[in-house]
Amino acid sequence: MKVCLLSNTPDPIKVIYLACRTCYSKLAPSEMQEVTDEKMVSLIKNTILSGHHSVLEHASFSFSVEGVSRALTHQLVRHRLASYAQQSQRYVEYKEDTLDFVMPKTIAKNYKDKFDALMKEIFKTYRELVEDGVPAEDARYLLPNASTTNIIVTMNFRELMQFSKIRLCYRAQWEILEMVKKMKDEVTTVSQFLANGLQPKCQHLGYCDETKPCGCYKFSTSALEVKSERNKLWDM
Ligand SMILES: Cc1cc2nc3c(=O)[nH]c(=O)nc-3n(C[C@H](O)[C@H](O)[C@H](O)COP(=O)(O)OP(=O)(O)OC[C@H]3O[C@@H](n4cnc5c(N)ncnc54)[C@H](O)[C@@H]3O)c2cc1C
């Protein structure tokens, strides 16, 4: 799996800061004076902690995600507030060097040979059908969830936070969890402050609402402790 940040809003902190200031100032955005990074981050932090999250929609991030399974992308595209462009199995006709399969570790442990043989057989039959004139859009019905794919995903920062709350949770499926960790690493190269906000939901809530908690989150005993933990999330 390869995840690269292709593009992002230039100076996302400044755009989000201006969105926050515009809401609470008599000045027009163009009249606002330059302020230090610390001041911008401080206002953004307070605005987020107050629950005013729409300001985060003004910064967006586009990632390329390569060599992941169709099982992953099926989960990914359920997140409706993002934009996607995915390699088509209708228009792309796979050859030996353009289709691979993702093998989970639990299968690799005892069933690697069986898995490999089955994928080889599926691919061989896929090629036979295509070479016999069956259109790729029909031959693809043979292809499994394990088939690799490439996708470009664009999320604004509010959606990226929401997505991380759900998919950075240790209860999320391993492959999508791995992908979000890589997306977070990419955001770190732009802003450590914004990357700090990409956390599983327990870190924002101050408790775990999963029916089967992973046990990683240390439960706070009082509402005040919860609040203080949440505030720390955005500390640099
Ligand atoms: C552990 C786990 C198991 C899952 N199992 C299944 C399963 O078995 N079957 C299945 O079908 N799905 C399953 N899902 C997918 C899940 O139901 C969601 O479709 C997916 O996580 C996207 O979440 P979302 O709607 O919050 O995200 P987004 O679509 O990105 O939406 C972000 C937020 O915007 C708001 N929003 C977006 N669209 C609307 C709308 N139309 N109306 C109102 N508010 C909206 C909501 O507040 C939402 O949280 C599972 C997800 C997880 C994490």
158 and 195 co-located in one domain: yes
Tell me the residue ranges of DSSP E strands in 140-205: 148-156
Judged against a pLDDT cut of 90, whether residue 232 lies above it is answered with no
169 and 80 co-located in one domain: yes
Distance from Cα 163 to the centre of ligand 1, integer Å: 9
163 and 56 co-located in one domain: yes
Pocket test for ligand 1, best of 74, 76, 81 (most atoms within 8 A of CB): 81
Count of domains observed in the chain: 2
51: CATH: 3.30.1360.170
Distance from Cα 152 to the centre of ligand 1, integer Å: 20
129 and 100 co-located in one domain: yes
What Cα–Cα distance (Å) separates residue 127 from each residue in 120, 130, 144? 11, 5, 14
Residue 212 lies in a domain: no
Distance from Cα 77 to the centre of ligand 1, integer Å: 10
Catalytic, 167? Answer yes
64 and 25 co-located in one domain: yes
Q: Which of 56, 23, 32 is nearest to 158 (CA)?
A: 56
142 within 8 A of 120, measured Cβ to Cβ: no
For 195-218, the pLDDT digits (tens) are 999 999 998 888 888 888 887 776
Distance from Cα 142 to the centre of ligand 1, integer Å: 28
Residue 47 lies in a domain: yes
Atom of ligand 1 nearest to the CA of 82: 30
120 and 157 co-located in one domain: no
Residue 164 lies in a domain: yes
**pLDDT number for residue 227:** 72
Q: How far apart are CA 232 and CA 236, in angstroms?
A: 9
For 78-98, the pLDDT digits (tens) are 999 999 999 999 999 988 777
List, in order, residues 6 or more apart from 28 with CB less than 8 Å away. 22
Residue 225 lies in a domain: no
User: Could you write out the DSSP letters of every residue in 32-65?
Assistant: PPP--HHHHHHHHHHHHHTT--GGGGG-EEEEEE
In DSSP terms, which residues pair with 4 in a beta bridge?
64
**pLDDT number for residue 220:** 62
80 and 172 co-located in one domain: yes
**pLDDT number for residue 174:** 97
**Average pLDDT of 33-45?**
93
Residue range(s) defining the domain that contains residue 118 = 94-142
Residue 236 lies in a domain: no
Residue 184 lies in a domain: yes
- Three-state DSSP at 101 gives strand
68 and 163 co-located in one domain: yes
Atom of ligand 1 nearest to the CA of 75: 15
52 and 7 co-located in one domain: yes
Pocket test for ligand 1, best of 72, 163, 166 (most atoms within 8 A of CB): 166
Residue 123 lies in a domain: yes
**pLDDT number for residue 156:** 98
* Ligand 1 lining (C-beta closer than 6 Å): 78-81, 159, 162, 166, 171-172
**Average pLDDT of 107-114?**
96
This model's pTM is above 0.85: yes
CA angle 70–79–192, rounded 5-degree value: 100
102 and 66 co-located in one domain: no
Judged against a pLDDT cut of 70, whether residue 12 lies above it is answered with yes
43 and 107 co-located in one domain: no
Residue 219 lies in a domain: no
For 132-186, the pLDDT digits (tens) are 999 999 999 999 999 999 999 999 999 999 999 999 999 999 999 999 999 999 9
